[in-house]
Structure 1
Amino acid sequence: MKAVLLRLFRKISLGLSFLVFIGLFLLIVLWDSMVFTTPVGHTSIVWHRLFWSGDRISQGPLSEGLHIIFPWDVFYTYDLRLQYHKQTYQVVSKDGLHFNVDMTFRWRAVPENILILNQTIGPDYLEKLLVPEVGSVTREVVAHYTAEALYTNERAKVQQAIYDEVTDDSLANGICHRDCLEHQDVVVLTDILIKRVELPEHIVNAIERKLEQSQVAQEYRFRVEREKLESERKRIEAEGIRAFQETVTPAISESYLRWRGIEATLKLSQSPNSKVVVIGNSATGLPLILDTSDRLPVNLPTTNSDQAEDGNSSLDEHLRNDQTSLEEVDHLQPMPKQSLPLAD
Structure 2
Amino acid sequence: MDVINPKRRYGKFGGLAGVFLVVLLVLIFGSSFWTVVEAGETGVRSFFGKVRDEEFSSGFHLKNPLERITKMNIRTQDYTMSVAQGEGERYGADAISALTKEGLAVDLDITVLYHLVEERASDVYRDIGLAYDEIVIRPQIRSVIREVIAQYEAKDIYSEKRQEAAQKIFDLLNVQLEPRGIELEDVLLRHVELPKNLAESIQQKLQAEQEAERYDFILDKEAKEAERKRVEAAGQRDAQTIISQSLTPRYLEYLYIQSLKDREGTIYVPTNPNNGLPLFRGL
TM-score w.r.t. length of structure 1: 0.58
Alignment pair present for 1:221 and 2:228: no
Residue 64 of structure 1, aligned match among 28, 42, 58: 58
Deviation digits for residues 186-242 of structure 1 (CA, Å, limit 9, x no counterpart): 111122110111223332221111011001111222222222212211221121111
Give the Cα separation in 2 of the matches to 1:59 and 1:30.
26
Runs of 5+ in structure 1 lacking a partner? 1-10, 51-55, 177-183, 268-344
The alignment status of 1:81 with 2:81, answered yes or no, reads no
What do you get for the CA RMSD once the two structures are aligned?
A: 3.7
The alpha carbon displacement at 1:121 in A equals: 0.9
**Maintained 8 Å contact 1:47/1:59:** no
Partner secondary structure for residue 61 of structure 1 = coil
CA distance in structure 2 between the aligned counterparts of 1:37 and 1:98, rounded to whole angstroms = 50
Contact 1:159 1:192 in 2 (8 A): yes
Partner of 2:37: 38
1:91 equivalent in alignment to 2:90: no
Does residue 127 (structure 1) correspond to residue 134 (structure 2)? The answer is yes
- Using the alignment, how far apart are the partners of 1:153 and 1:233 within structure 2? 35
Identity of paired residues, percent? 27
Give ranges in structure 2 of 5+ residues lacking alignment. Answer: 1-10, 83-95, 264-283
Cα distance in 1 for partners of 2:116, 2:180 equals 9
Distance in 1 of aligned mates of 2:34 and 2:131: 23
- What corresponds to 2:235 in structure 1? 240
Q: How many matched pairs?
A: 238
Alignment of 1:1-344 (within 5 A): 36-49=35-48, 57-58=51-52, 60-67=54-61, 73-88=67-82, 89-168=96-175, 173=176, 175-176=177-178, 184-252=179-247, 256=252
Secondary structure of the residue aligned to 1:145 is: coil
Distance 1:254 1:246, change over 3 A: same
Task: Name the CA distance, whole Å, in 1 between partners of 2:140 and 2:239.
Answer: 76
Secondary structure in 2 aligned to 1:127?
helix
Deviations 1:302-335 (Å, cap 9, x if unpaired)?
xxxxxxxxxxxxxxxxxxxxxxxxxxxxxxxxxx
Q: Which has the higher contact order (CA 8 A, sep 6+)?
A: 2
Whichever residue aligns with residue 157 of structure 2, its letter is L
Amino acid at match of 1:159: A
Q: Distance in 2 between matches of 1:149 and 1:142?
A: 10
- Per the TM alignment, residue 35 of structure 1 is displaced from its structure 2 partner at its CA by 6.6
Contact 1:110 1:185 in 2 (8 A): no
1:40 positional shift: 1.0
Name the CA distance, whole Å, in 2 between partners of 1:206 and 1:31.
Answer: 71
Check 1:192–1:73 CA distance in 2 against 1; reply closer, same or farther (3 A cut): same
Worse-matched range after superposition: 118-127 or 21-30:
21-30
> What per-residue deviation string (whole Å, max 9, x for no partner) do you get for residues 245-301 of structure 1?
1111234468959x97xx89xx9xxxxxxxxxxxxxxxxxxxxxxxxxxxxxxxxxx
Distance of 2:73 and 2:51 partners within structure 1: 22
Amino acid corresponding to residue 46 of structure 2 in structure 1:
W
How many angstroms apart in 2 are the aligned matches of 1:39 and 1:223? 63
1:143 is aligned with what amino acid? A
Shift of the 127–57 alpha-carbon distance from structure 1 to 2, 3 Å rule, reads closer
Shift of 1:142: 0.7
CA drift of 1:127 comes to 1.3
Letter in 1 for 2:195: P
Q: Relative to 1, partners in 2 of residues 1:196 and 1:32: Cα closer, same or farther, differing over 3 Å? A: farther
